Amino acid sequence: MDALVTTEWLANELTATDLRVVDASYFSDASRDAAAEYEAGHIPGAVFMDLGEIADLSNPLPSMLPSPEKFASRMQSLGLGDGSRIVLYDDSPLHTSARAWWMLRTFGAHDVAILDGGIAKWKAEGRALATGKESLRHRHFTVWADDKGVRTLDQMKANLDSAAEQVVDARSAARFTGEEPDPRPATHAGHIPGSKNLHYATLFNADGTWKSPDDLKAAFDAAGIDLSKPVVATCGSGITAGVLVFAAHLLGNDAALYDGSWSEWGADRTTPKAMGAA
C-alpha cells in the first residue's frame, strides 16, 4: 500500500478484511464538532479517531503524544490491530490525518496511508457514505513506541549549536516572522533561530489533494530545505508539522517532528526567539 492512496483505490479495497479506514478529523476551535460530523456522514466502515483525547491530557501543552499504553488501548478499542492496513482521512483545514499518520507510525503501525483529497473528494465524486457509529470489534495492538521521529525541547536546544538537523516551521509567514502575535497567552512571537518557514497549506491543490512530488520538492527547495539532509518539522502545537513530515516522507526523507513545537518553545523563557524572515 502506498503512503498516499486515491479515492478510486480505496473504493476498490473497502471490502478487504485487513483494511481499516479512520476519520482523523480534528479542529482547533469549537466551531465544528468532528465527532458529530463523522456520525453525520463518513466513509463506510470508517471509525473515528479522537485526536483531542488521544493525547497526554496531563501535560499542560496541547496535543502531546500519549503514553504507548494509552495509544495501544485506544487503537484496540477502534478495532485497529497488528496486521491492519490503515487508511486515514480528514475534513479539517489543518489536514490532521498527517498528524494521525505520524502518531501511528511512532507507535508501531507501519502499513498506514492517507486518502488523497480526504472525504471532501470522496463526497464530490458521489461515493457512498454511512451515518451513525460503526460496530467495533477489539483487536490486539501491540504496545510499542519508536521515538526516532520525535524531538524534545532539549534536543531542539542542542540542535541550535550542532545544526545537525534543518528545522522547518509549518506555521503561516505572519506567525513565523512574529508580525502576528501568538494566540496562546504568555507565548512569545517569532520562531526558533535558524529555522525555515514552509506554510503547510501551500502543499495542497485547490481541491485539497496533495501537490505532485515535483511541486512538493520545489516548495521545500524554495524554503531553503535540502531533503538530502536531516529535517525536523515544527509548528504551533505539533499538528500541522505532521503535514511537512508526511510530505517529506513522500519525497524519501524521514523527517522528525518536534512535538512541543512553538507552544512549548515560545512559552519557555529560557529559549532564544528570532523575529522577521528566515
Angle of the 213-223 helix axis to the 241-250 helix axis, nearest 10: 120
3-state DSSP helix/strand/coil % of the chain, to nearest 5: 30, 15, 55
CATH code for residues 148-265 = 3.40.250.10
4-145 CATH fold: Oxidized Rhodanese; domain 1 (3.40.250)
Q: Are 170 and 277 in contact (CB under 8 A)?
A: no
**Residues forming a β-bridge with 156:** none
Query: Of 105, 111, 143, 115, which Cα lies nearest the Cα of 242?
Result: 105
CA distance 246 to 242: 6
User: Cell 475534513 appears where?
Assistant: 91
Note the pLDDT of residue 85: 97
* Cell triple for 14: 473497502
Note the pLDDT of residue 276: 95
Listed by start position, the domains of the chain span: 4-145, 148-265
> What is 200-226 written as a DSSP string?
GGGGB-TTSPBPPHHHHHHHHHHHT--
Q: What sign does the CA torsion over 268, 254, 169, 208 have? A: negative
> What is 122-168 written as a DSSP string?
HHHTT---B-S--------------GGGEE-HHHHHHHHHH--SEEE
Phi then psi for residue 212, to 5 deg, are -65, 160
**Residues forming a β-bridge with 3:** none
Residue 159's Cβ-side half-sphere holds a number of Cα atoms within 13 Å equal to: 21
Report residues of the chain scoring pLDDT below 70: none
0.75 exceeded by pTM: yes
Query: Do 4-145 and 148-265 agree at the fold level?
Result: yes
Mark whether 235 is an active-site residue. yes
Note the pLDDT of residue 185: 86
Phi then psi for residue 101, to 5 deg, are -60, -45
Note the pLDDT of residue 119: 98
Buried b (16+ CB within 10 A) or exposed e, 5-27: bebeebeeeeeeeebbbbbbbbb
Catalytic residue among 168, 235, 245, 250: 235
pLDDT digits (tens, 9 = 90+) for 219-237: 999 999 999 999 999 999 9
